[in-house]
Structure 1
Amino acid sequence: MKLWLFFTLVLLWLEVQNGVCQQVKHKKEAGENRIRPGRKRAKVRYPKVKEKEAGSKGQSILTQVLDKGRFLRLGESLSLNPGKTLELRCKGTKIGWAYPSYLDTFNDNRLSITQHERYSQLILTSPSAADTGEYSCWVLLCDGVECEKDGDTTSATYIYFTDKDELFVPSAIHFEIIYLRPDKPATIPCRVTNPKIKVSLHREVPAEEIAVDGTQISYNPTKGFIIQNPRPEHKGAYYCKANSTTKTTPQISTKYQLLYVEVPSGPPFATIEASSNTVRGGDIFNVTCTVLGEPEMNVSFSWRYPGLGQRPVSIHDSWRLINRGVGHTTRISQSVMIVDDVETIDYGKYICTTKNKNGETLVATSVKSRA
């Protein structure tokens, strides 16, 4: 009886000890994880964002190289002192450039452009007030030898070379003709070398200062005075006047002759007429081809006639400006063919083809034998 009781107590003690150990072990495991996974601090990894590729929309690819290898990303405009070499860079493996056109017209050796592996470099030595203007660059997309401009990559900056003695951007033309058209704005291009210069517009006859209201007539230092809706009463001789902040004497610009244009844009408006449509052998006659068009629109003439390649003829081309109606200016272009000592081969159709940048027009007339 006592032995049975002893074994029962031993088994009970072992069960109790086993339960206590499991409880301690459970508490220890819980203590090792007092910081819950949800509250554990961890490094936040942000996704890498690639930089915009050179030339992407909204980012300028045009920079100015400063002293000591520093670079300035250019905005809409920049004012610099003349004389110091200008160096611009444009990112890209194939770059196109634009700059004041006269630098090309006069083949100016002060300008050089070099394409490097990752950028193109433009250098202009000894810049002056005349070099004031827009400088721009763009990426060229090439397929073999053919390249085209990527319009989304163009970066442009208007650079003023401020010169206290040259308030207006110098021009090789001392008297410029401006054509006024009713269907588009006209610009009187008296640009300045400093955007802070005050400029006024003046008519010579009658002598008066023209009111600039900012709507019908406005001023932009990078372009000049802009007439939004030209009318015949705007024609005449004009000049601009600039007032310096350091000098009392104002400076006068180039003079401008404003002419009102009657003929609208389009292919040549051509007519043809023979001095006589019936001639005898041995006579002399001429055929005149006439085009009325815009004052600055160049016109080319070509002829087909019965004796082409077999008979000598004389052809004279000319043009002049004429006034038509009240205050309207038109360019008259003519080509005159003279046929001397008529022969049988000269009878037939005379065809004149006229061409301008907007298209071409063909006109014809016939010359017959007089019985």
Structure 2
Amino acid sequence: MKLWLFFTLALLWLEVQNGVCQQVKHKKEAGENRIRQGRKRVKVRYPKVKEKETGSKGQQGSLLTQVLDKGHFLRLGESLSLNPGKTMELRCKGTNIGWAYPSYLDTFNENRLSIKQHERYSQLILSSPSAADTGEYSCWVVLCDGQECTKDGESTSATYIYFTDKDELFVPSAIHFEIIYLRPDKPATVPCRVTNPKIKVSLHREVPAEEIAVNGTQISYNPMKGFIIQNPSPEQKGAYYCKANSTTKTTPQISTKYQLLYVEVPSGPPFVTIEASSNIVSGGDIFNVTCTVLGDPEMNVSFSWRFPGQGQRPVSIHESWRLINRGVGHTTRISQSVMIVDDVETIDYGKYICTTKNKHGETLVATTTVRDIRLLRPCRQTLS
């Protein structure tokens, strides 16, 4: 009996010891976890994603930044207003970058503009900027394959920069009287741009003297472009100017004058004719062949020729163009190429082909010159 009681107490004591040990061990593990989580910071590493050099309208994808001071940059958006006189520095991210800027700086640069390509970015610096430098500044990645390089259209950033000048409300222009063509198939722009987007601008016709209503649909105003006429008509031709009112001055400023001309020329390949001064010529004569194109006043046309004796004898080719008024304010451009053949030889007889090209296509015309048989000596045959 005593033995059995002793054996039972021993088993009970062992069970109690096992339970206590497990509890202590469990608490220790929990304590260790708490210490590990509290003292050791685990940094989550995400996979690196390489930023694509894209120039979306939003600022996040822009390649273009302005250097404010050492170590401080401003990522540029759609537009930016700066004071004239202070040097401007722009940077564009990339190892091979192209730039575009107001065309005014190509003519009136005066060594104020410099562009330098660095290892990881390109730098544009404009010193002593003025109101005339107002315009769009853009950059893009240049892709090269050997000697051939192209502009990456998906990697372009652009910002319109205003150099605000209280004395120059309109962006100065070297042209004091500008011709604007009104076409029925596309909008026309009266380019009276301002140096401050907050300036109030109105459009005026000279004769009859009146202010043009701007309703935002048929005619609207964009400070980066000017007044936009959506559906031009012949009634809108005439002389116009813009007027700007400053918030600090009572006297308004007047812009350059604009002559609006209505043109009605179909868009397409050149409409061309060809004519020779004479199709029947003889040795020693001089004749010319004229290739004429009628088209849009602002449509450039190129000419090329194929003719008898090409590469064997010299000829003279003269090209010119002019504008003509075809009535009721309709204006047309006449482009001509004239080939002059001096001292006609046998190799000059044959077909003269004129090929004309514009951005819509090309047109080919031809004419033929032959020998004047009336001036040839008759062939005498002797009968035996």
CA positional deviation for 1:37: 12
CA positional deviation for 1:265: 2.8
CA positional deviation for 1:282: 6.5
Mapped partners of 1:370, 1:296: distance in 2: 69
Mapped partners of 2:8, 2:316: distance in 1: 145
Q: Deviations over 1:62-116 (max 9, x none)?
A: 1111134422121111111111100111122222211112212445411001111
Mapped partners of 2:333, 2:13: distance in 1: 126
CA positional deviation for 1:174: 1.3
CA positional deviation for 1:154: 1.7
Q: Which of 350-359 and 167-176 deviates more?
A: 350-359
The alignment covers a number of residue pairs equal to 368
Q: Deviations over 1:21-75 (max 9, x none)?
A: 9999999999999999999999888777777778689522211111344221211
CA positional deviation for 1:187: 0.9
CA positional deviation for 1:176: 1.3
* Structure 2 counterpart of 1:36: 36
* Structure 1 counterpart of 2:100: 98
Regions of 4+ moved over 6 Å: 1-57, 368-371
Mapped partners of 2:57, 2:278: distance in 1: 65
Q: Is the 8 A contact 2:141 2:156 kept in 1?
A: yes
Segments of 5+ residues of structure 2 without an aligned counterpart are 367-380
Q: Which of 86-95 and 160-169 deviates more?
A: 86-95
CA positional deviation for 1:342: 5.6
Mapped partners of 2:194, 2:177: distance in 1: 17
Q: Deviations over 1:113-172 (max 9, x none)?
A: 111112111100000000000111122233334333233332211110011111111111
Q: Is the 8 A contact 2:315 2:341 kept in 1?
A: yes
Q: Deviations over 1:268-316 (max 9, x none)?
A: 2111123443456666654332110111223333444445566676554
* SS of residue matched to 2:15: helix
Q: Is the 8 A contact 2:54 2:157 kept in 1?
A: no
CA positional deviation for 1:354: 2.4
Do the aligned partners of residues 126 and 369 (structure 1) sit closer, same or farther apart at CA in structure 2, a change above 3 Å counting? farther
Trace 1:143-162 onto structure 2 (pairs within 5 A). Answer: 143-162=145-164
Mapped partners of 2:336, 2:44: distance in 1: 80
Do the aligned partners of residues 282 and 164 (structure 1) sit closer, same or farther apart at CA in structure 2, a change above 3 Å counting? same
* SS of residue matched to 2:363: strand
In the alignment, structure 1 residue 188 sits paired with structure 2 residue 184: no
Segments of 5+ residues of structure 1 without an aligned counterpart are none
Q: Deviations over 1:230-286 (max 9, x none)?
A: 112222221111112222221111111112222223322111123443456666654
Q: Is the 8 A contact 1:167 1:193 kept in 2?
A: yes
Mapped partners of 2:4, 2:208: distance in 1: 141
Do the aligned partners of residues 6 and 77 (structure 1) sit closer, same or farther apart at CA in structure 2, a change above 3 Å counting? closer
Q: Is the 8 A contact 1:191 1:223 kept in 2?
A: yes
Q: Is the 8 A contact 2:57 2:77 kept in 1?
A: no
Q: Is the 8 A contact 2:308 2:349 kept in 1?
A: yes
How much identity, in percent, do the aligned residues show? 91
Mapped partners of 1:7, 1:305: distance in 2: 129
Q: Is the 8 A contact 1:280 1:369 kept in 2?
A: no
Do the aligned partners of residues 245 and 347 (structure 1) sit closer, same or farther apart at CA in structure 2, a change above 3 Å counting? same
Q: Which of 57-66 and 190-199 deviates more?
A: 57-66
Mapped partners of 2:318, 2:215: distance in 1: 48
Mapped partners of 2:5, 2:362: distance in 1: 130
Q: Is the 8 A contact 1:278 1:370 kept in 2?
A: no
Q: Is the 8 A contact 1:279 1:370 kept in 2?
A: no
Please provide the CA RMSD for this pair: 5.2
* SS of residue matched to 1:369: coil
CA positional deviation for 1:19: 10
Trace 1:166-181 onto structure 2 (pairs within 5 A). Answer: 166-181=168-183
Q: Which of 10-19 and 279-288 deviates more?
A: 10-19
* SS of residue matched to 1:16: helix
* Structure 2 counterpart of 1:113: 115
Q: Which of 314-323 and 252-261 deviates more?
A: 314-323
Q: Is the 8 A contact 2:272 2:356 kept in 1?
A: yes
Do the aligned partners of residues 306 and 164 (structure 1) sit closer, same or farther apart at CA in structure 2, a change above 3 Å counting? same
In the alignment, structure 1 residue 251 sits paired with structure 2 residue 253: yes
CA positional deviation for 1:321: 1.3
CA positional deviation for 1:328: 1.8
Q: Is the 8 A contact 1:57 1:152 kept in 2?
A: no
Q: Which of 25-34 and 186-195 deviates more?
A: 25-34
Mapped partners of 1:80, 1:370: distance in 2: 100
Mapped partners of 1:94, 1:227: distance in 2: 39
Mapped partners of 1:149, 1:113: distance in 2: 17
Do the aligned partners of residues 305 and 47 (structure 1) sit closer, same or farther apart at CA in structure 2, a change above 3 Å counting? closer
